Structure 1
Amino acid sequence: MAYAVVGALYVAAVLYMCVLALDPNLSEGAAHRLWGFGSPGSHWSIAVILAIPLVLVGLRRLAGRPSFTSQPLLVIAAMAGSVLVLGMSAYWRCHGDQAAFFAPLAWTLALFLGNVETFDEGVCAVMPVALEIARLLALVTTLTAALAAGLQLFRSQVDRIAIWRARSLTVVVGIDDDTVSIVRAILSSCDPAGTVAILTDDLDSPAARRARELGARLRGVNLAEPAEWARLTLWKRLDRLYLMSADPVDNLRRFNAVDATVGGDGVHRRIPLTVRIDDPWQAEVWRRSFLARAERCWVADAVGKYEVTAAKLVRHMASRPQTGLTGVRAAPTVVLCGLYPLTYAMVSELAQLEREQRLYGKPHVVAPASVVIFAEHADSFINDHITRQQRVAPSDSMLTVIAHDAEPNVEAITRYLTGKDEASYAFVLSDPALETQGTRLASRFPRVRVYLASAAATSLIDISVVGDLYTYPIDMELDEAAPQDAWERAAELIHEHYSAGTSRDRPTTRPWKDLDPFIRQSNRRQLVNALWMVEAFGGHTWNSLEYPGPPRALPVDFTELDPLGQLEILGFDKDTVERMVRIEHEDWRAYYEDAGWRYAEIRDDDRRRHDRLLPWDELIARDPEFAVAAVKSLASTLLCLRNLGYRSVPKQPGGSGWRQYRRRGQVTAERLDHPWTWRTDSGEIMHAAPGDWSVIDDAGQQRSVAAEVFEATHRQVGPRRYERCGTVLARRVNRRELVHTLEGDVTAAPGDWILQGAQGEQWPVRDAQFRAGYGGPVDSDAAEQDGWAGLQRPDH
């Protein structure tokens, strides 16, 4: 509002100067009424008008907006327009015998070159203030245009300087059309004092240009050589990292290079890390398996266009008008049409919403009562979904998912809706190719809510053209109100669950949106620290997806147990609990002291004084009851995480011990008599010797196998077709490891498997490739521990 008022004041002042220039006689009376404002030679009049744009710049900075737009042409055009209006007004009466319009225009344009036409007689002998202002603005316009041209010519160097000067950096590695929206969301939520730096190998790509227009800084690097750009000095000021390649393998390779630099510098703070993994089920597995690294340097999350889109759709369909009457209308049954990647993301998001609402029922949110998968072979998909959900959360919190095995066309949906209450159903069509069917469906059933993926849509808004039809894009455009990552989302729910039963007027118990950012970050810190402590000291892992069967049910009297008893049921003995609460307190104390808080006997939030900012032993000596409260807080956090689907399980006995697995499947193979090379999934170049076999599996992946190894592990079943036979030793990787293979060194990432053949040779494989090519552990106990028993592979 203030910005608009000051802008209007500037326009009014300029027009006032123009009027005085056109009618000098008017200035005499007006000058007396306005204390000489606008009279010839009035220095303060010039100063006021030139100061107004500076005030506009200041207001933009106070509002957190950039001082200038990313297109300087708008600024130059505004100044040039002011010069033309003021100059033409000042010269309009001075053309004499010359052309009435073109002479004033020529004299005004000459102002941009520093030339001022003056006159010795008549009304034009006195220079109006409008001309003096126009002369100054013209010079500034010329200089600004030259500076803008120079900046445009050397914009890469300017960006490098800006990155070098930045106190903190949010670094985005890789940019394309899909991730421009992520950059927009980052810029809207990041610290105004920070800088968003994008590392790209194409500074002139359309996506890179749009990111620069949004306000990001670009740095040209060779993304194919992570080891080179990972040595840049900018990593010392890293505040947040985004790895945004469409290929998740590239992202993990790049992370390994950055981690070697950042993690090796002894960094103790937790740096948020976001990795793009579009496949929703792969993203969830990676999100959980990364926690097993037990490294405090990173707080990792995965983001993908299907998960982001699913979250927006679920928020839209679960939100109810804030009329103060919650639950007035029953939540609809959501029907997901087709087995598309968005279907996988939607059913996982809906299951998560069900768990969240059980933990803390958000006002004006009603979770769908059930989900229907309307697709051929839907039963197989639901079996996989149930298996996954049983491994992450108690079965009594699972969302009901029903299969309807049919092709989701308009006629089949019409038969399905016959005799049903249309208003209680919401259909989600995930393929933009179904646009015609979506329109037909909305026309036939105007009370059925239809969500239709559209390549032409730019956002999901509450406007429908036909019936109750909403179009949406499948993209990575984050909602402004959405949590930054999965851990902030969990921290918000745990805070609301705890605070709902307390007075909401205290600084630490206010609703999440009203919390001071410092307190909000402290809640996030507590959750992340709990995740790390369970992995590092509790002997547990959060990656319950690798363990078969549902979680063990809690005793019926669980809520009546004391916190130590509850934690024992969850798998943590007394010594481990005491160690974890001590570490949590010291981490909390360091967080507060780093923010300038100090100890005082009486707490005073306004002066940043706290009565518990003491070392653990000293605090417990003064207040023994605090230890009980600390154990209760830990138990509450871990139980909330369990209810939200983050269930910790004991790590496998023997840790990284080898187990024996059967080989299975067929390959196409050919023995080559010359040296050749091939590339692994993670990008390493392998060297095969003459006589090695070129092996291509049914997934199209090529690799080499030494002659003596191939002959011992394959049996010919047809021309160039061989059956894999025998067994290998294998173990799961918890941390990245360098494996010395016969063809060269390969890095195994967390979640991969390292295999060992009969002759001691070793090589790594991805989890999906391992499960496809090996039939499970030879011993049944290992099968149960490794999660093979009863496992069904996803259709996708």
Structure 2
Amino acid sequence: MPSSVPDEPARAPAANVLRLTFAVVALVSLVIGYIGLAQYVSRNPEFHGRPLDLLYYDLQLFVLGTPPLDEGSGRIPLLLDIARFTAPAVTVYAFIEAGRLLFAAELRRLRIRQARDHVIVCGDGMVADILTRRLRATGDRVVQVPSGSVVTGRDPFGLAGEAGDPEVLHAAGISRARALYACTDDSATNTAIALAAARRGRHRPLAVYAQVSDPELCLALQARHLGLAEPSGTRLDFFNIDDLAARKLLNEAPLVPTHGGPPRVVVLGATTFGRAVLVELARRWRVRDPQPRSPVPIALVDADATGAATELSHRYPFLSRVCRIVPFDGGLAELLADPVFPLPPDRVFICDDDEERALKTALTAEQLWHGGPGSVVVRLDRLASLRAAFDSRPGDHQVLDDLSGTLRLYGVANAACDPELIGDDLVERLARVIHESYVLSRRRHGEDPARNPALVGWEDLPETLRQANRSQAEDIGRKLRELGCALSPRVGSGAEYALAESEIEQLAVLEHQRWLKERSAAGWRYAEQRDDARRLHPALRTWEDLHEEMRERNHDAMRELPAILAEAGFRIVRVRAA
């Protein structure tokens, strides 16, 4: 059962003070009641005065009666007189508080059942907590479902249950939710939650995101969802926090040329984050310099740097065109002792999963400190709070030297838990690459942007055309299935299937048919001259009646498909005869 509800206010401090007050009153009542009863019983010998008997009589004061007072006689001592009123008052307060909590729990459940367009976050670890705070800060209504069968948070009366249990998802309002984030500490659990949510949320638009710690498994799950013959109706994606953090890092601090050429980069640790950083910086540099005159020199330092470099170059073919990866099998000592890679570097990324060792390397390797402000990035997670000690921004209380701004402690969970960044899913990224490929192709053919409003950057593209690119990305799986092919992550030594010209023709026909159906449904009509404002387009004809130049555009787009998929780490494989 959800542990918190949309827009639940923080508990008022006055309530805590009141509880503490009544706890003190209960303790005082017990003490003075015991003393008063001892005095009273000494005057009424028919009652036993042993300590256990007195304690028993004392406890009965809290239930509105005790035998000595009911059956005894004589003057009641002052302390006992006070206790016989304060003790029942504590009992009454306890009943009221219990009723209030029960009513509040039912009220919270009612609010959840009535919630609309809210967000569900499954998990109670670091990622889930940060994401919940970020969502609430942007005004989203959030229901948080705890991991496993342990209910935590402000709802102690929630029903225990697995987050992937359909009944728990139903109680969280999955049928009316806008989005769900599965971010427990277990990837298998997250996958199960995401799949259960995707099945439950089919009757209305729902975005489902599942955290997967293994990047290869993440790619494989993305491939299987993208490879569907028909869109599922649910926006489903799998994300890896190291990959997201690397993207955000290079977006905030992109590589810039130094000394008239590409910067020298050192990546210490071929960890998940280290590999993601290497791929992302290469991807960004390729966009910055589409025809690189000289590759970016990157020193990759790891116990198996050579194997990691070979694997990454196989998975992302553009790496060998954009970068010159120099592997150093070992540690920092091997890099410093080898003159092959010139030092000092311009950018350093310390990506060791051992956070203490990573921090120690950053603070002791003075040979890496010459790249300028923010040039030495240290990946942290558990120790990310240390960042405040090195922070040199105005108004902050700095207690440790950050080497004149050179050192940057980078918390991956804090960086990755950005709803907008997570929402930039695989379909969105592929749609962007499809558009960039289209723009480059049309410009190579000398097409004028003044005549084609689609020849602009993704940020300047109208939303209708962005959606058209998303629809094309979503349809990749269906078209490949028609050929007897499928998507596969570029993992291992498997061979990529090379599309024949006849298959490119078939894909081009399928893509044009999809595009024609989509545009016709949106009210577009055929005309010799394109007019986006009036929804007129010269390509709104059957494939047989299409001009040869228009057909060739579709051929070019399908020829670029393997490269577009390789950009995201996928390849086309044959699974059956066409």
**TM (normalized to structure 1)?**
0.48
Alignment of 1:541 onto 2:486: yes
Alignment of 1:611 onto 2:532: no
Structure 1 residues 30-429: aligned runs within 5 Å: 154=104, 157-158=107-108, 160-161=110-111, 164-166=114-116, 168-184=117-133, 195-200=141-146, 204-205=152-153, 222-223=161-162, 226-231=165-170, 234-262=173-201, 272-297=207-232, 298-320=234-256, 329-353=260-284, 369-389=296-316, 393=317, 397=321, 399-408=323-332, 414-416=336-338, 420-429=342-351
Q: 1:288 and 1:539 mapped to 2: Cα distance?
A: 15
Q: Deviations over 1:158-210 (max 9, x none)?
A: 575366342x4544333422233334555678xx7x7554433666439x99x
* Larger RCO: 1 or 2 (CA < 8 Å, sep 6+): 2
Cα 1:447–1:523 shift into 2, 3 Å: same
- The match for 1:491 among 411, 425, 431 is 431
Q: 2:553 and 2:194 mapped to 1: Cα distance?
A: 35
Alignment of 1:441 onto 2:337: no
Aligned-residue identity in percent: 15
Alignment of 1:470 onto 2:408: yes
Q: 2:549 and 2:105 mapped to 1: Cα distance?
A: 57
Give the conservation status (yes or no) of the 8 Å contact 1:280–1:345. no
Give the conservation status (yes or no) of the 8 Å contact 1:527–1:637. no
* Alignment partner, residue 477 of structure 2: 532
Q: CA deviation at 1:498?
A: 3.5
SS in structure 2 at match of 1:278? coil
Q: AA paired with 2:123? A: G
Q: 1:419 and 1:620 mapped to 2: Cα distance?
A: 55
Cα 1:275–1:421 shift into 2, 3 Å: same
* Alignment partner, residue 46 of structure 2: none
Q: AA paired with 2:567? A: L
Q: 1:504 and 1:187 mapped to 2: Cα distance?
A: 43
How many residue pairs end up in the alignment? 460
Give the conservation status (yes or no) of the 8 Å contact 2:241–2:412. yes
Cα 1:600–1:359 shift into 2, 3 Å: same
Q: Deviations over 1:125-145 (max 9, x none)?
A: xxxxxxxxxxxxxxxxxxxxx
* Alignment partner, residue 574 of structure 2: 651
SS in structure 1 at match of 2:350? strand
Q: AA paired with 2:217? A: Q
Cα 1:522–1:221 shift into 2, 3 Å: farther
Q: 2:220 and 2:305 mapped to 1: Cα distance?
A: 22
Q: 2:161 and 2:555 mapped to 1: Cα distance?
A: 51
Give the conservation status (yes or no) of the 8 Å contact 1:494–1:640. no
Q: 1:458 and 1:151 mapped to 2: Cα distance?
A: 40
Give the conservation status (yes or no) of the 8 Å contact 1:243–1:274. yes
Give the conservation status (yes or no) of the 8 Å contact 1:333–1:371. yes
Give the conservation status (yes or no) of the 8 Å contact 2:328–2:334. no
Q: Deviations over 1:536-590 (max 9, x none)?
A: 323221215367356478xxxxxxxxxxxxx744x72544532332123324544
Q: 1:394 and 1:437 mapped to 2: Cα distance?
A: 31
Q: CA deviation at 1:452?
A: 1.7
Give the conservation status (yes or no) of the 8 Å contact 1:334–1:428. no
Q: AA paired with 1:315? A: N
Q: CA deviation at 1:632?
A: 4.4
Cα 1:161–1:337 shift into 2, 3 Å: same
Q: Deviations over 1:325-349 (max 9, x none)?
A: x776533333222343323433343
Q: 1:260 and 1:587 mapped to 2: Cα distance?
A: 25
Structure 1 residues 531-610: aligned runs within 5 Å: 531-545=476-490, 548=493, 551=496, 568-569=500-501, 572=503, 574-590=505-521, 592=522, 609-610=534-535
Alignment of 1:450 onto 2:376: yes
Q: 1:598 and 1:72 mapped to 2: Cα distance?
A: 55
Give the conservation status (yes or no) of the 8 Å contact 1:542–1:646. no
Q: AA paired with 2:240? A: G
* Alignment partner, residue 355 of structure 2: 432
Q: CA deviation at 1:631?
A: 2.2
Q: CA deviation at 1:428?
A: 2.0
Q: AA paired with 1:205? A: G
Structure 1 residues 749-788: aligned runs within 5 Å: none
Cα 1:511–1:623 shift into 2, 3 Å: same
Q: CA deviation at 1:620?
A: 6.5
Q: 1:577 and 1:534 mapped to 2: Cα distance?
A: 9
Cα 1:625–1:415 shift into 2, 3 Å: closer
Q: CA deviation at 1:236?
A: 3.8
Q: AA paired with 2:226? A: L
Q: CA deviation at 1:624?
A: 5.3
Cα 1:576–1:198 shift into 2, 3 Å: same
Residue segments in structure 1 that go unaligned for 5+ positions in a row: 1-67, 75-149, 210-217, 321-325, 554-566, 656-796
SS in structure 2 at match of 1:542? strand
Q: CA deviation at 1:626?
A: 8.7
Q: AA paired with 1:404? A: F
Q: AA paired with 2:325? A: V
Q: AA paired with 1:301? A: D
Q: 1:170 and 1:480 mapped to 2: Cα distance?
A: 11
Q: CA deviation at 1:290?
A: 3.5
RMSD over aligned CA atoms reads 4.9
SS in structure 2 at match of 1:379? helix
Q: Deviations over 1:338-374 (max 9, x none)?
A: 343323433343454466557699xxxx997133222
Q: 2:103 and 2:282 mapped to 1: Cα distance?
A: 52
Q: CA deviation at 1:287?
A: 2.3
Give the conservation status (yes or no) of the 8 Å contact 1:356–1:493. no
SS in structure 2 at match of 1:179? helix
Structure 1 residues 721-740: aligned runs within 5 Å: none
* Alignment partner, residue 42 of structure 1: none
SS in structure 2 at match of 1:178? helix
